Amino acid sequence: MDLLNLAWKNLWRNRRRTLITLSALCFSLMLIQGSHNLSHGVYSSMIDSGVRAGSGHLVVYQQDYLATRDEKLSFAPRDLSAEIGRIAGVQSVLPRIYLPGLAQSSRESRGILLTGVDPVVEKAVNPFLKRLPADEWLSSDDGREAILGSLLLKELKLKLGNKFVVTMQHRSGELVSEMFRVHGVVQTGIKGIDKTLLMVGRERAAALVGMDGEIHELALMLTDQTADNSVRPQLNALLQGRSDIRGYSWEEAMPNLYNAIRLDYASSNFIFIIMLLIVTIGVINTLLMSVMERFREFGVILAVGASAMRLRLLIIIEALLLGLVSMVFGTLLGSLLTWYLVAKGIDMRNFVSESLEFGGVVFDPIMRAAWDPLWMVKISFYLLLLALLAAIYPSIKAGKISPAAAMRHY
Amino acid sequence: MALIELKTVSKIYTLGSQEVIAVKDFSLQLEKGEFCVLAGPSGSGKTTLLNLIGCLDQPSAGEVWLEGRNVATVPAKELAAIRLNKIGFIFQSYNLIPVLTAAENAEFTLMLQGMDKKVRREKVRRWFVDLGLEGLEERKPSDLSGGQQQRVAIARAMASDPAVILADEPTANLDSQTSEELLAVMQRLNEERGATFVFSSHDPLVIAHGKRVVRLVDGHLESDQCVS
Ligand SMILES: Nc1ncnc2c1ncn2[C@@H]1O[C@H](COP(=O)(O)OP(=O)(O)OP(=O)(O)O)[C@@H](O)[C@H]1O
Ligand SMILES: [Mg+2]
């Protein structure tokens, strides 16, 4: 305890130097925590819109569907939707059909991906459909109403209410055609989707190709992302009796998004490591200088009977205090920054005009942070650890002081 | 058994290719309760000798015995403990830890010994009274005069009840009046409490206070006289 007292006092004997070192530590911790929380927030919302527009938090496919996207690999959900819907943590269950085909207007034709959905559940979940006026949305499972991607509409030179024909391959091998009417338009901001999206009622789509009662995808929306852990095993249990289908997490189902996020985390972690290394070198410098300045004093301390171990401990405690103070104040500053970034966010529209696409997902132009308290605590402990590591060399140096020489030369 | 015994001790420093013989074949016995001054001109080896006695340095040849123990056989780790418990040190200047108060400085060795805070506070308080340092407990060393600083160093040395107190030119930075006062304090502690002092000086006025005067010239023992 007395060593602690001495260490604390020593820390403040060169007030300015200590403050400079402390602010370097605090500010880097603040920046690291703030920018991590910002990415965390952006990615969380990206994952959220990604899973909402895409295949959900968890998804059920026919065994080989994910690898081949072959429209023949469908499955009959039977009462699976209802059973899954009863699992706690599952918000909604969305059966979907995906069929490649050709859309023809009187003037143009384009390749499309016909998506058959259950209008009621789909509308509640998909963020792109939220902006669609209610009267433009599909009114039934088996009607002739169709929602088109904005670019597709333009390329087919169609307008709301126009009719067009969709041709695709029936299960039997024949080509079949069906007439639809443009009922609504969606713009996701992702070219690939806006150019090919054609959304119709699921039953109509199934009937068209002769796969009544079957679907390609059963997407699960959870109440929140963390419910994954509890829902996954229950889902697997439900699927146990059925060898034809399998459950996947969003990471498996949307590897593009997942990998893009992982890559970005990895590169920001790399920057964090470099930042921490630089401040660690600063800490080493401060501690070493303070040791060098006190050679004579350390000589006296050793002469009157302190062991080299105690002296080393003193230096380490000084570093520990430096680390603790910056851990606390840095986290405080990091929390302030995060709080600002949560409340206000950064409006990217000031910097880029186009909509922002990342890993196949469009994200909100206002980047908002989200709290990741566990990570903040973890990184602040890393900082403490680094401060302690920085003390190793200076403390060894102090422990090697020979009192006789120290008092003669300093 | 002598308290301290130096048996033909030599200390040779090598500076590059040059050898400096700081102490040469020096023998000395010190008994409990002595008030001994190591006298000699600058460079005669006083500091070197005190460092050898205080286990701060190892002799190049010969042996240093402390309370019947050959210091050379003591493991390095235990040397710190010997210095802590058996030896008190007073240096010429900058004896004290600048960030600690006078009382904390005086308590420092007791703290190292692991003495309870209250007990050592009280002990140091009594030493401060004895040494005329009352009221200066909370002062930082920089706010004390040179004589006061040296008395705090004496308090620190005395507080841990060492077998011997080694003082390397304790009065070198003091004026003659303050030097006299400091020596009077040391003398009183020697007489009243039987504290053993070995101190060095090249100042005849200071040397005159020694009850035993060991004269050094070029690292040799020149004379060893008891003054009654
Ligand atoms: N570390 C060292 N390296 C080389 N030579 C040294 C070293 N320490 C002391 N000496 C030499 O040993 C001799 C004795 O030095 P010492 O410091 O013991 O003398 P001193 O009597 O204490 O002198 P002063 O009164 O000036 O303090 C001197 O010639 C000094 O130059
Ligand atoms: Mg000297």
| Domains of chain B and any CATH numbers | 32-56+73-226 (3.40.50.300)
Give pLDDT, residue A239: 84
Classify residue A132 by its DSSP letter: S
Banded model confidence at residue A360, pLDDT cuts 50, 70, 90: low
Q: Determine the Cα–Cα distance for residues A132 and A184; give it in Å rounded to an integer.
A: 7
Three-class secondary structure of residue A237 per DSSP:
helix
Give pLDDT, residue A359: 62
Q: In this structure, what token pair is assigned to residue A237?
A: 């249990």
> B109 at the A interface (CB within 8 A)?
yes
In terms of domains, do A244 and A277 share one? Answer: no
Contact assessment for residue A297 and residue A405, using Cβ atoms and an 8 Å cutoff: no
Q: Determine the Cα–Cα distance for residues A19 and A11; give it in Å rounded to an integer.
A: 10
Which residues in A lie closer than 8 A to residue B109 (C-beta atoms)?
304-305
Q: Number of A:B CB contacts under 8 A?
A: 64
Give pLDDT, residue B127: 93
In terms of domains, do A125 and A248 share one? Answer: yes
Instruction: Determine whether the interchain pair A407/B99 forms a contact, defined as Cβ–Cβ distance below 8 Å.
Output: no
The residue whose C-alpha atom lies closest to atom 3 belonging to ligand 1 is B13
Q: Determine the Cα–Cα distance for residues B36 and B2; give it in Å rounded to an integer.
A: 14
Q: Determine the Cα–Cα distance for residues A303 and A407; give it in Å rounded to an integer.
A: 9
In percent, the amount of chain A with pLDDT more than 90 equals 55
Q: Single out the residue of B23, B96, B15 nearest to residue B53, CA to CA.
A: B23
Q: Determine the Cα–Cα distance for residues B38 and B26; give it in Å rounded to an integer.
A: 12
In terms of domains, do A28 and A113 share one? Answer: no
Residue-level pLDDT, tens digit, chain B, 228 residues: 789 999 999 999 988 889 999 999 999 999 999 999 999 999 999 999 999 999 999 999 999 999 989 999 998 888 999 999 999 999 988 789 999 999 999 999 999 999 999 999 999 999 999 999 999 999 999 999 999 999 999 999 999 989 999 999 999 888 989 999 999 999 999 999 889 999 999 999 899 999 999 999 999 998 888 886
Classify residue A98 by its DSSP letter: E
Q: Determine the Cα–Cα distance for residues B212 and A28; give it in Å rounded to an integer.
A: 64
Instruction: Determine whether the interchain pair B100/A6 forms a contact, defined as Cβ–Cβ distance below 8 Å.
Output: yes
Which residues in A lie closer than 8 A to residue B47 (C-beta atoms)?
408
Q: What pLDDT digit, counting tens, does each position of A25-67 carry?
A: 999 999 999 999 999 998 888 888 777 778 888 899 988 888 8
In terms of domains, do A17 and A121 share one? Answer: no
Three-class secondary structure of residue A143 per DSSP:
coil
Of B56, B80, B84, the CB nearest to A404: B56
In terms of domains, do A203 and A273 share one? Answer: no
For A8, name the nearest residue in chain B, comparing CA atoms only: B99
- Cα distances from A25 to residues A34, A274, A337, in angstroms, run 14, 13, 15
In terms of domains, do A27 and A65 share one? Answer: no
Of B51, B96, B156, the CB nearest to A404: B51
Contact assessment for residue A164 and residue A101, using Cβ atoms and an 8 Å cutoff: no
Which of the listed residues A220, A235, A253 is the one where a domain comes to its end? A253
Start-end of H helices in A304-372: 308-343
Contact assessment for residue A365 and residue A350, using Cβ atoms and an 8 Å cutoff: no
In terms of domains, do A228 and A344 share one? Answer: no
Residue A166 has pLDDT above 90, yes or no: yes
**Chain A residues with CB-CB distance to B under 8 A?**
2, 6, 9-10, 12-13, 296-297, 300-308, 310, 402-404, 407-408
Q: Determine the Cα–Cα distance for residues A375 and A381; give it in Å rounded to an integer.
A: 10
Q: Name the β-bridge partners of A102.
A: A111, A167
Q: Determine the Cα–Cα distance for residues A409 and B215; give it in Å rounded to an integer.
A: 25
Q: Determine the Cα–Cα distance for residues A387 and A279; give it in Å rounded to an integer.
A: 9
Give pLDDT, residue A361: 62
Of B57, B94, B156, the CB nearest to A296: B94
Phi, psi of B195 (to 5 degrees): -70, 140
Cβ–Cβ contacts within 10 Å for residue A100, how many? 14
For A310, name the nearest residue in chain B, comparing CA atoms only: B112
Chain length of chain B: 228
Q: What does the pLDDT average to over A290-318?
A: 93
Q: Determine the Cα–Cα distance for residues B109 and B80; give it in Å rounded to an integer.
A: 11
Q: Determine the Cα–Cα distance for residues B219 and B10; give it in Å rounded to an integer.
A: 8
**Strands, sheet with B4-15, edge to edge from the N-terminal-most edge strand:** B18-30, B4-15, B61-66, B69-70
Å from CA of B216 to ligand 1 middle? 12
Which atom of ligand 1 is nearest to B15's Cα?
4
In terms of domains, do A118 and A74 share one? Answer: yes
Mean of the per-residue pLDDT values of chain A = 89
Banded model confidence at residue A347, pLDDT cuts 50, 70, 90: confident
In terms of domains, do A248 and A349 share one? Answer: no
Q: What pLDDT digit, counting tens, does each position of A232-257 carry?
A: 888 888 888 888 888 898 888 888 88
Q: Single out the residue of A347, A351, A380 nearest to residue A42, CA to CA.
A: A347
Three-class secondary structure of residue B153 per DSSP:
helix
In chain A, what are the helix, strand and coil shares in percent, each to the nearest 5? 55, 20, 25
Instruction: Determine whether the interchain pair B112/A306 forms a contact, defined as Cβ–Cβ distance below 8 Å.
Output: yes
CA distance B47 to chain A (A): 9
Distance of CA B10 to the CA centre of its chain: 20
Which of the listed residues A253, A276, A300 is the one where a domain comes to its end? A253
Å from CA of B22 to ligand 2 middle? 11
Q: What does the pLDDT average to over A190-216?
A: 90
Ligand nearest to the CA of A408: 1
Which residues in B lie closer than 8 A to residue A300 (C-beta atoms)?
89, 91, 94-97
Chain length of chain A: 410
Ligand nearest to the CA of B91: 2
Contact assessment for residue B6 and residue B38, using Cβ atoms and an 8 Å cutoff: no
Which residues in A lie closer than 8 A to residue B112 (C-beta atoms)?
304-306, 310
Q: Find the domain containing A226 and state its range.
A: 56-253
In terms of domains, do A142 and A272 share one? Answer: no
Spell out which residues have Cβ within 5 A of ligand 2, the ion: B 47
Contact assessment for residue B106 and residue B151, using Cβ atoms and an 8 Å cutoff: no
- Cα distances from A252 to residues A50, A249, A259, in angstroms, run 13, 5, 10
Which residues in B lie closer than 8 A to residue A305 (C-beta atoms)?
80-81, 83-85, 87, 109, 112-113, 160
- C-alpha Rg value of chain B to the nearest Å: 17
Give pLDDT, residue A244: 85
Cβ–Cβ contacts within 10 Å for residue B47, how many? 22
Phi, psi of B58 (to 5 degrees): -100, 140
Q: What pLDDT digit, counting tens, does each position of B79-107 carry?
A: 999 999 999 999 988 789 999 999 999 99
In terms of domains, do A198 and A277 share one? Answer: no
Q: Determine the Cα–Cα distance for residues B30 and B166; give it in Å rounded to an integer.
A: 12
> How many domains does one find in chain A?
2
In terms of domains, do A279 and A307 share one? Answer: yes
Which of the listed residues A253, A284, A310 is the one where a domain comes to its end? A253
Tell me the torsion sign for CA atoms B197, B202, B204, B206: negative
Phi, psi of A160 (to 5 degrees): -55, 135
